[in-house]
Amino acid sequence: MDLHLSGRVAVVTGASKGIGLAVVGTLAREGARVIAVSRKLTPELAALLGATVVHAPADLMDPSAPGEVVARAAEEFGGLDILVNNAGGPPPGATLPRFSFLTPTDDDWRAMFEFNLFAVVRAVRAAVPLLLERGGGTIVNISSTSARQPGALNADYAAAKAGMNTLGKALSEEFGPQGIRVNTVSPGPVRTAWWTEQGGAADVIAAHAGSDRDSVLTTLAPQMMRLTTGRLAAPQQVADVVALLASPLSANTTGAEFVVDSGFLKEL
């Protein structure tokens, strides 16, 4: 299917791996020009770089960084049509999951909101004028099912993502009449480095449960989270939804939330 993205300009944060990397690859294959934002350049992202994919190194914990990487789109490609706020999860240096509300300190809460919400606010603030210059565009925010089904684990993360969901609705209401569509994609557990890397969520859960990483990824985590499909999602499955929402084919879709969660959420 042609998503009619040829020539459009996108900024994708958290682009070095996982969902962000899959989004960059998908948009590029559809003909978009992409500013791929990440703190580090991974070999996988480096393989995508070229005339239409440019790496913008940035630490989004720096308050000036979101605006700078959005401005890079105008510098490199003359404007902006698509903003994908994908960077999120544990702030640099933090390890999740946290098993109790009592675990994170005030500084932990501040860092979580800086990375998962305030960086998004700053990127959107920078992007809106550029999108309006083009007569509109689209913003896709990557949230989490944790925002809708919080529990004892990661209370700070769930709260930040709930704020992102509210932000998306508010932005859609204000800027939709001016041609800017804003939608949210909420993944459940996705087989990314957040889970699989050394010291990641699978290792933390394995240590807590007396298990091992592979068993957590294939059996324990799907059972704990009551995943209907019995498996974690793949990054590409999330990226496909993001690309469709970025496309003019979704011209009448705004203020919506799309869930890619292996059946994690059970409520209507």
91 and 223 assigned to the same domain: no
The CA-to-CA distance between both ends of the chain, in Å, stands at 30
Please give the order of strands across the beta sheet that includes 137-142.
53-57, 33-38, 9-12, 82-85, 137-142, 180-187, 257-260
d(CA 35, CA 52): 8
The pTM of this model reads: 0.94
Count up the domains in the chain and report the number.
2
What CATH number is given to the structural domain containing 61? Answer: 3.40.50.720
* Residue 212 lies inside a defined structural domain of this protein: yes
172 and 256 assigned to the same domain: yes
Task: Give the pLDDT confidence score for residue 97 in this predicted structure.
Answer: 85
* Residue 40 lies inside a defined structural domain of this protein: yes
217 and 104 assigned to the same domain: no
* Residue 174 lies inside a defined structural domain of this protein: yes
76 and 206 assigned to the same domain: no
> Which residues make Cβ contacts (< 8 Å) with residue 34, sequence separation at least 6?
9, 10, 11, 12, 15, 24, 27, 28, 52, 53, 54
Domain extent, residue 221, equals 193-232
Block mean pLDDT (10 aa), the chain, length 268:
96 98 98 98 98 98 98 98 97 88 95 98 98 98 95 92 98 98 97 87 88 92 93 97 98 98 92
123 and 217 assigned to the same domain: no
Task: Give the pLDDT confidence score for residue 91 in this predicted structure.
Answer: 93
- Judge whether 19 and 187 are in contact, CB under 8 Å: yes
Task: Give the pLDDT confidence score for residue 195 in this predicted structure.
Answer: 87
Chain segment 43-97, per-residue pLDDT in tens = 999 999 999 999 999 999 999 999 999 999 999 999 999 999 999 999 998 888 8
162 and 208 assigned to the same domain: no
* Residue 45 lies inside a defined structural domain of this protein: yes
Task: Give the pLDDT confidence score for residue 208 in this predicted structure.
Answer: 86
95 and 163 assigned to the same domain: yes
Instruction: Region of 74 please: left (phi>0), alpha (psi -120 to 50) or beta.
Output: alpha
172 and 127 assigned to the same domain: yes
Active site residues: 157
* Residue 3 lies inside a defined structural domain of this protein: no
26 and 138 assigned to the same domain: yes
